[in-house]
Amino acid sequence: MDWTKLDAALFDLDGVLVKTTELHASCWGRMFDAFLSRDAARRRVAYQTFDVRSDYTRYVDGKPRDDGVRDFLASRGITLPDGEPGDPPERESVHGLGNRKAALFLEAIETGGVEVYEGALALIRHLRRVGLKTAVVSSSRNCETILRVVGMLDQFDVRIDGERAVRLGLAGKPAPDTFLEAARRLDVEPGRAAVIEDAIAGIEAGRAGHFGLVIGVDHRARRVISTPAGPISS
């Protein structure tokens, strides 16, 4: 690819830099299945499990944690109170369920570690050598922890993650706000920056922000699709 017309590259974390997508999906599934089983028993309805492929991709992947909880529950016709950000994992609120998933994910990292996509790391190092600025833009509130575990904190000029997005009041993906904030902090125009994403919500965010290039990565299919920014065709 010709990177000479760009000044920066903005990378998603999960599924682009590190192999955590399946781990995230598994933890979401464990959390939701436990809740759905209890909810079905209370309401005396059939219990339908969380599909770690279709439900994760459609309702959760790439979004802020609380939005993922709300959107999936809404797909099942379930509404819970938001609660408070500090709700304990056993509380049946949006924040409580989100915190339960986060606890499961951190336990999994501590047990099994995190694997890096070596091709992505090689690309980042190449782009920095040729003068492009780099940022990581992730909905994950564990972004800093993961980057520290894999030794990649020093590979980015800017980090906009789930924690910072909340503090700054930025809308999560598929809104372009987090990517635009990263570009602003890098002092580059969106049209001179590339967005590298694996989630549908992230790709929509990159295109909504009118970035110069939006790259959709699908590691499972072993292919990469790159397109100019613009409206997504239906």
Domain ranges of the chain: 8-19+115-227, 22-112
Cα–chain-centroid distance for residue 151?
A: 19
Residue 228 pLDDT: 52
Active-site residue, selected from the candidate residues 7, 14, 161, 177: 14
Half-sphere exposure of 118 (CA within 13 A, CB side): 0
C-beta of residue 180 within 8 angstroms of C-beta of residue 205:
no
| CATH 3.40.50.1000 corresponds to the domain 8-19+115-227 | yes
**Mean pLDDT score, 37-55:** 94
Active-site residue, selected from the candidate residues 7, 12, 55, 198: 12
- CB-based contacts of 74-77 (< 8 A; 24+ apart in sequence): 76/36, 76/48
pLDDT of residue 99 exceeding 80: yes
Measured at the CA of 15, the angle between CA 211 and CA 49, to 5 degrees, comes to 120
Render pLDDT for 139-185 as a digit per residue (tens, 0 to 9): 998 899 899 989 999 999 999 999 999 999 999 999 999 999 999 99
DSSP per residue over 88-157, as a string?
A: -TTS-SHHHHHHHHHHHHHHHHHHH---B-HHHHHHHHHHHHTT-EEEEE-S-TTHHHHHHHHT-GGG-S
pLDDT of residue 78 exceeding 60: yes
Mean pLDDT computed over every residue of the chain: 91
- Residue 12 appears among annotated catalytic residues: yes
Query: What percentage of residues in the chain have a pLDDT greater than 70?
Result: 93
Indicate the residue type of 136.
V
- Residue 2 appears among annotated catalytic residues: no
C-beta of residue 66 within 8 angstroms of C-beta of residue 96:
no
